Structure 1
Amino acid sequence: MLFNYRVIDNPLSKYKGRVNMNAAQIQLINFLSAAIHDERLDIDQVKKINFKSIIDEAEAHNIKGLVYSAINKNNISKYIDKEQLEQWKKETFFTAVYQIQHIKQISHVLEIFNKEKIPVIVLKGLVIRDIYPKPELRTMCDADILVHKEDLDKVKKQLLKLGYIEYGITKAHIVFEHIKYPPIEVHWFLTYEDFFKKNVLCENEIWKKTMKVKVGGTEALSLSFEDIAVHLCLHMAIHSASSGFGVRQLCDLVLLVEKKGDLIDWSSFVNKIREYGIDKFTMAIFTICRILFNMTVPEELNSIKLVKRELLNLLIDDIFESGVHGNRTLSKMFSNKMAYNSHDKVGNNSWGILKRFIMFVFPPINKLSDRYAYAKKYIILLPIAWIHHFFSGVFSKEYSFFSKIKFLVSTVHISKKRNKILKGLELI
């Protein structure tokens, strides 16, 4: 289905036209826009909606509670199956309770950090949620905080006391998990060289420009609104290259621009995204936010070259296909791995994609798990291990047989499409 849009009195008026979206996606955006803007819907349009499709789309993007809030506000429950509506209502209630408990726990953690005089910057959802009409419906799967690298041992000590355990570490953050509460990601860098040549969000400058916020009643530091905007775009760019991202991240940007845009130095913002090399990607994202949510794009972004409609269509399609974490389907999950390799950027072409696909199906001996130890011991048995590996995947019960067939047929095709997006947006 075609989504009609028109931009008035704005350089983006060049984009008058249509975007390819199916009915459920169009309906989802209409409900989502009403939810984040606290607006009313056209009841005549609601009568024609397939709410099962809306729920499926909302679930894939982890925004069911937000979408339900639009339904509740607009009193259109009579158009929805009662059993379906009751289940949706219960899920929204428990989602809100879970998020409130999450914030209460993070508030407690921050209070301890404050007592120990450990400076902390709270990131992403912990700040953005407060500009939503119903903050408890802006879901978070974890909590992201930024600390000074020299304070890592102090932070770790306090989290271990609270029952958290160290679960994983990267070049930029450590994940701490808890049996009762969502994970906490402790960052000491906001970006790292795998994706960007220069760390424009210089940590020293960030700390100088912080502002005070409250998380569940506890005082903490936040990035400035300008740096939040840059960080949101960087985060989407990283996820776009590595796995993809869903519509929830677009909502974050829309509300930030609409509610805090007058506090942002947009000229400085443009300079930063240019230094990172994500100016074309950022322009595409702002354009999509304008198309889908009628967001006004700051005039300072007019200096950035507009993105072709074909590329916008591909990116919108990828956002919907991705779901909240980029792994909505088996095919999408593996196509992400095939489309881009941050450690081998020269291999991000058609041959590189095919090569990674072949290596996935028939991995080198050092990539095989201990399950195939016999091949590591006797290399002549490697072809048998490959067959074993292939059929283990085919008959695994984790995904349906249909999903596996779809994966085998479509992964390379999807990877090429994603690769085209990344090249077109100059992310590779």
Structure 2
Amino acid sequence: MDIDQETVVNFLSASIRWKKVDDCNISNINWKRIFEISKEQEIYTILYPKVKKLSNAVKPENEIMYEWKRKTILASLNQKKNINRMSCVLKKFNQARISSIALKGLVIREFYPIKELRTMSDSDILIHIEDLEKVKRILLNMGYFQKHKDSKHVVFLHKQYLPIELHWLLIDKNYFTKAGYLEKDVWKNVQSINICGTNTLVPSIENQILYLCLHMAVHFLYSGFGLRQLSDLVLLVESERNKINWDIFYKKIRKCKIQNFVIVLFEVCRRLFRMDVPYILYNKKLENSQYVDMIIHNVFSRGIYGGIYGKASMNSVGDNVLMLHNVNNGKFYTCIARLKYIIKFLFPRRYKLSKRYSYVKGNRAFIPIAWLHRLIYGFFRKDFNIKQKILFLLAQADFLREQEKLFKWLEL
């Protein structure tokens, strides 16, 4: 991490724990970059209350502070409007005697000091597949319309409110063939919480943590995850620590065969947020692991697989080249090896294609069209020039090889 990234993590750590930020420890801050990083990581709303309380001597300049405040107010109002809407949706499910389980942001936001500042891009709900048509009718009557459907969930959009993702399966079997037992276990182990006056089922605390970890593992394989997902995990663990049965949790991650990834994930949280790691998940050998350094690097680059075809910033390309050069003691791979991985990157397997190319999921014959679509999209992106795209592609060849080693090390 550089000094700006470290500052963002320190502010986030203080924000989720509602601790005071000491002005005396703040000096020479590049507030423009801090604001940009917090927007990229979708945590600017969470940081705002702490930034606002800083003394005038160290606060961001007026222009940045005004924009930060404006965006935070708009986002929080939108979140409040959406959560009130979700309360109505959940009430209608209850009235129709439809069993549903709230997931991810709908649950995690309840642990944040100011709920509306933990933003969501959609609302995730788990239902039984046999209730899908009933739920669909309720949502259509409320002004939602169906947008996308695949093997595990369907997305409903609304002109005024955030999308709703209805899941009947939690895990895509393309990623984790051993996590299927969770589908039954999550329904057997539920608890009830109040979301805006509506009693709502949520997974047991162990299954909530497990699902967060599985969700991050999927994102890590596909594109990467960011600071907000990590802060969710830290806040959930620290808020419910006395209720968590770590022995049960460890048995669950062993059944899913993701214990290596989870142990590393907790080490990342320890390094970044100084979270106390349960003894059963602690591995001292990881304290100086370069692979953990790579994961932390990916957290800030938002996942290199996104690249010029997704979310990753070109600012990280040069860093990736240097990082890989150091990891390999200055030895770069042969031209044949690079060519092999460039081809892998340009022509990925179907399950590694993003939602933009969802039309291939139902028909393998569309894969060549998706590859062409993806290449054209990357070539004509205006936020990167030709030189940057070439540099990225060369760096990607080396990075993919290191990523593959990392995936094997994590047993993903």
Residue in 1 aligned with 2:409? 424
The answer for unaligned runs of 5 or more in structure 1 is 1-20, 336-348, 373-385
Out of 324, 333, 355, the position equivalent to 2:343 is 355
CA contact (8 A) 2:266 2:277 kept: yes
Out of 136, 147, 167, the position equivalent to 1:167 is 147
Residues 1:237 and 2:217 aligned together: yes
CA contact (8 A) 2:339 2:397 kept: no
Structure-1 separation of matches of 2:387 and 2:163: 33
Residue in 2 aligned with 1:272? 252
Q: How many residues align?
A: 375
1:47 deviates by: 2.5
Residue in 2 aligned with 1:410? 395
CA contact (8 A) 2:11 2:21 kept: yes
Over 3 Å counting, the alpha-carbon distance change for 1:400 and 1:171 in structure 2 is same
Residue in 2 aligned with 1:328? 311
Residue 399 of structure 2 aligns to which amino acid in structure 1? Answer: I
1:25 deviates by: 0.6
Over 3 Å counting, the alpha-carbon distance change for 1:365 and 1:133 in structure 2 is closer
Residue in 2 aligned with 1:104? 84
Could you give the per-residue CA deviations for residues 237-256 of structure 1, whole angstroms, max 9, x where no partner exists?
11111111001010011011
Which has the higher mean CA deviation after the structures are superposed, 98-107 or 305-314?
Answer: 305-314
CA contact (8 A) 1:245 1:324 kept: no
Please show how residues 293-332 of structure 1 align to structure 2 within 5 Å: 293-302=273-282, 306=286, 309-322=289-302, 327-329=310-312
Could you give the per-residue CA deviations for residues 88-121 of structure 1, whole angstroms, max 9, x where no partner exists?
1111111111111110111111111111111110
Residues 1:197 and 2:177 aligned together: yes
Structure-2 separation of matches of 1:369 and 1:274: 39
Residue 393 of structure 2 aligns to which amino acid in structure 1? Answer: L
Residue 423 of structure 1 aligns to which amino acid in structure 2? Answer: K
Could you give the per-residue CA deviations for residues 304-343 of structure 1, whole angstroms, max 9, x where no partner exists?
974751111011001111179964336689x9xxxxxxxx
Out of 167, 173, 176, the position equivalent to 1:187 is 167
CA contact (8 A) 1:46 1:79 kept: no
Please show how residues 244-263 of structure 1 align to structure 2 within 5 Å: 244-263=224-243
1:129 deviates by: 0.5
Structure-2 separation of matches of 1:324 and 1:93: 31
CA contact (8 A) 1:247 1:324 kept: no
CA contact (8 A) 1:99 1:139 kept: yes
Structure-1 separation of matches of 2:137 and 2:193: 24
Structure-2 separation of matches of 1:365 and 1:209: 41
Residue 343 of structure 2 aligns to which amino acid in structure 1? Answer: K
Residue 22 of structure 1 aligns to which amino acid in structure 2? Answer: D
CA contact (8 A) 1:280 1:305 kept: no
Structure-2 separation of matches of 1:252 and 1:59: 17
Structure-2 separation of matches of 1:281 and 1:189: 21
Residue in 2 aligned with 1:47? 27
Residue 264 of structure 2 aligns to which amino acid in structure 1? Answer: A
Out of 19, 22, 25, the position equivalent to 2:2 is 22
Out of 387, 394, 407, the position equivalent to 2:379 is 394
Residue 328 of structure 1 aligns to which amino acid in structure 2? Answer: K
Residue 317 of structure 1 aligns to which amino acid in structure 2? Answer: H
CA contact (8 A) 2:206 2:244 kept: yes
Residue in 2 aligned with 1:157? 137
CA contact (8 A) 2:217 2:261 kept: yes
Could you give the per-residue CA deviations for residues 364-384 of structure 1, whole angstroms, max 9, x where no partner exists?
9964449x9xxxxxxxxxxxx
Structure-1 separation of matches of 2:90 and 2:304: 27
CA contact (8 A) 2:82 2:161 kept: yes
Which has the higher mean CA deviation after the structures are superposed, 302-311 or 49-58?
Answer: 302-311
Residue 29 of structure 1 aligns to which amino acid in structure 2? Answer: V
Residue 55 of structure 1 aligns to which amino acid in structure 2? Answer: F
Over 3 Å counting, the alpha-carbon distance change for 1:76 and 1:276 in structure 2 is farther
Residue in 1 aligned with 2:98? 118
CA contact (8 A) 1:210 1:222 kept: yes
RMSD between superposed Cα atoms in Å: 3.0
Residue in 1 aligned with 2:203? 223
SS of the equivalent of 1:145 reads strand
SS of the equivalent of 2:177 reads coil
Which has the higher mean CA deviation after the structures are superposed, 25-34 or 70-79?
Answer: 70-79
Structure-2 separation of matches of 1:169 and 1:391: 25
Structure-2 separation of matches of 1:328 and 1:392: 13
1:298 deviates by: 1.3
- For normalisation by structure 2, the TM-score amounts to 0.83
Structure-2 separation of matches of 1:119 and 1:144: 14
Structure-1 separation of matches of 2:237 and 2:381: 45
Q: Which has the larger radius of gyration?
A: 1
SS of the equivalent of 1:221 reads strand
Please show how residues 22-101 of structure 1 align to structure 2 within 5 Å: 22-75=2-55, 78-101=58-81
SS of the equivalent of 1:79 reads coil
The answer for unaligned runs of 5 or more in structure 2 is 321-336, 349-363
Structure-2 separation of matches of 1:85 and 1:44: 20
